[in-house]
Structure 1
Amino acid sequence: MGAETTSTEVMQGVDLSGKLALVTGGSSGIGYETARALLAAGADVCIGARDRTKLEAAAERLGEGAQGSVFAYPLDLSELDSVDAFADDVLALDRPIDLLIANAGIMACPLERNSRGIEMQLATNYIGHAALISRLAAAVRSAARARVVILTSSGHHFSGIRDDLNFENESYDKWTAYGQSKTASALLALKVHDVLSPHGVTALAVHPGFIQTDLMRYLSKEDYVAMQSRTDIVLPTKRTYKTVEQGAATTLWAATAPELAGRSAYLEDCSIAQPAAVRDTLHGTMPWVTDRAAGEALWAKAEQLAGRPLPLA
């Protein structure tokens, strides 16, 4: 398997009958393809997304001929009230969560803050998912050999976790903010693994590759030029872009591959990523995505910004 592996190839022979899977950002792009493939394998799937109209349309399409059941609830990860409402809806199903796939995210958006004053990429990509996993942790623990899959990006090369986490004292840069949020996502997978692995939970970080989806809606030609100007950055080309089916493959491999049970890893191209020799945005990991001390400090800061504890145990 590799960069060209598809979701269909990964899921060949996989039977998820009776399992419950949750996919954030499941109304479009690789989230939708992930949900579709899980349903085709027999799982019941719960999807969440911000746009209610798109969410309902996606649920209707997914349900056509699906082996499993489809549940769809509104979810705006940038706002904790919405995260709590979504979690309440999921918990009302009164079922263990076998697969929790933190897929939703935003990328390189202009400076915006949520109702608590948290920078939007950090709020959506990291804190919202941290709060959701915290709320659903008991249901995840109650499943036999559950998996949590958190989508990150090789965009983490742009930035580790900054002292000025919330851009309160320094000028905002959309790529730095995006990179920090994706480093945070990878550190979230480590945090979940460290706390929940004694309960049989496997938590993995996944870089899906470069796919042209709605995630890129904020990008202009000038943005690409600005990204290219950064030292050592290599931009994807048409040759390196994946299809949506290829983009979902690593997520699905993380969610189902027997050989990954109990592992803590950062995955790309249906394999375990290796440390990067230089900063680029195509392959490999920078050392800050495995810095557990930074991850613990980040978690404490996230609780402070959220205004509440985020228990996992």
Structure 2
Amino acid sequence: MSANGWTDADLPDLSGRTAIVTGANSGIGYELTRMLAEAGAHVVMATRSVKRGQAAARDLRGELEGELSVRRCDLADLDSVRAFTSDFIRDFERLDVLFNNAGVMAIPRSETADGFETQFGVNHLGHFALTGLLFERLRETPGESRVLTQSSGFHQRGRIDFDDLQSEASYDKWDAYAQSKLANVLFAYELDRRVDRAGIEGLTSVATHPGYADTNLQRRGPEQAGSQLRLWLMKAANALFAQSPRKGAWPMLYAATAEELTGGEYVGPTGLFNMRGPPGVQSSSDRSSDETLAKRLWDVSEGLTGIDFEIE
């Protein structure tokens, strides 16, 4: 480990390992893919657009030790998630790390193919379904496997509104985003608890957040809303305060490989206001540790997606 804390230079050799990265064609997902493959892993790039995924893979190939595969996985369409997981299980005998990384942030209200509010549907339900459908492959993989779910510091603002879960009666783009990010942490913790109770060894679940990283995620909301002023302000803030997407990927990479993690942790940057710097274990909100809330969300998520993990 470097003198100033963990960096991607501390990644171990990942030869023979298989990882799935959602949202792999840009931003943090692209950097995750690059660094995992540099360390020798076979990375399956799960992208909504195969065309953009293949373009990203072409940019990366030739400089990497590991292999890249591009597969379509639209988290806003559960049929696409099912098709992706079915093909993956057919073609791959192991899954060492699942990076639930993709997401949308503060966009105008819209709905997924299954009728879910898009931020809740993509950020939480899509990844919930993906993990559930891949659970047996994760469980059967020799050695240790990990599920990493990307949240945000915004989860601290979040509340799960079971009376209006899809924001049909009232919609605030930031409240909906915060709800989805709280759901990410609740899911990561509840998954780890259920795995522990079932006595399943070698499978851990960890929540992460990237801090403030300069990616396209912040730009999509202003672009979809047609606000040039908000877009300019966002770009200016990114230029002044954000860290690079590569450093934004560090918490997930650390959580994927750090031997000292045992599951159920919340990992993010440890520098200024937890927005940048080397990764480490942090405290999440009190609400995110509410086991009753997490169980209710789990049950509702199973009902909405039709996915039963069958852990216990």
Decide whether aligned partners of structure 1 residues 119 and 222 sit closer, same or farther in structure 2, where only a CA change above 3 A counts.
farther
Q: Distance in 2 between matches of 1:246 and 1:6?
A: 11
Q: How far did residue 196 of structure 1 move?
A: 2.7
Q: How does 1:30-179 map to 2 (within 5 A)?
A: 30-143=28-141, 144-163=143-162, 164-168=164-168, 170-179=169-178
1:268 maps to what in 2? 268
Q: How does 1:200-219 map to 2 (within 5 A)?
A: 200-216=202-218, 217-219=220-222
Moved more, 31-40 or 213-222: 213-222
What one-letter code is carried by the residue in structure 2 that aligns with 1:106? V
Quick one: percent identity of the two aligned structures? 35
Q: How far did residue 94 of structure 1 move?
A: 3.1
Q: How far did residue 7 of structure 1 move?
A: 5.1
Q: Distance in 1 between matches of 2:96 and 2:45?
A: 14
Q: Distance in 2 between matches of 1:102 and 1:309?
A: 17
- Counterpart contact for 1:193–1:203, Cα < 8 Å: yes
Superposition TM-score, scaled by structure 1 size: 0.86
- Structure 1: 5+ residue runs without aligned partners? 228-235, 275-284
Q: What SS is found at the alignment partner of 2:147? A: strand
**CA deviation string 1:50-101 (max 9, x = no partner):** 1221111112223323222111101110110010111112112231100111
- Counterpart contact for 2:6–2:254, Cα < 8 Å: no
Query: Higher helix share goes to which structure?
Result: 2
1:189 maps to what in 2? 188
Decide whether aligned partners of structure 1 residues 57 and 221 sit closer, same or farther in structure 2, where only a CA change above 3 A counts.
closer
Moved more, 121-130 or 190-199: 190-199
Decide whether aligned partners of structure 1 residues 55 and 41 sit closer, same or farther in structure 2, where only a CA change above 3 A counts.
same
| Pairwise CA RMSD | 2.5
- Counterpart contact for 1:98–1:140, Cα < 8 Å: yes
Decide whether aligned partners of structure 1 residues 7 and 62 sit closer, same or farther in structure 2, where only a CA change above 3 A counts.
farther
- Counterpart contact for 1:48–1:72, Cα < 8 Å: yes
- Counterpart contact for 1:6–1:246, Cα < 8 Å: no
Decide whether aligned partners of structure 1 residues 222 and 299 sit closer, same or farther in structure 2, where only a CA change above 3 A counts.
farther
Q: What SS is found at the alignment partner of 1:190? A: helix
Q: Whose RCO is larger (CA < 8 A, sep 6+)?
A: 1
- Counterpart contact for 2:133–2:307, Cα < 8 Å: no
- Counterpart contact for 1:150–1:206, Cα < 8 Å: yes
4+ residue segments displaced more than 4 Å: 4-7, 220-224, 236-239
Moved more, 62-71 or 117-126: 62-71
Moved more, 213-222 or 153-162: 213-222
Decide whether aligned partners of structure 1 residues 45 and 237 sit closer, same or farther in structure 2, where only a CA change above 3 A counts.
closer
- Counterpart contact for 2:214–2:238, Cα < 8 Å: no
Decide whether aligned partners of structure 1 residues 26 and 116 sit closer, same or farther in structure 2, where only a CA change above 3 A counts.
same
Q: Distance in 1 between matches of 2:187 and 2:170?
A: 25
Pick aligned residue for 2:15 from 7, 14, 17? 17
Q: What SS is found at the alignment partner of 2:45? A: strand
Q: Distance in 2 between matches of 1:267 and 1:81?
A: 31
1:258 maps to what in 2? 259
2:275 maps to what in 1? none
**CA deviation string 1:89-143 (max 9, x = no partner):** 2112231100111000000111101232210011100000010101100110112
- Structure 2: 5+ residue runs without aligned partners? 270-278
Q: Distance in 2 between matches of 1:296 and 1:48?
A: 28
- Counterpart contact for 2:112–2:118, Cα < 8 Å: yes
**CA deviation string 1:158-211 (max 9, x = no partner):** 22211321123x311100000000000111111221223423211111111111
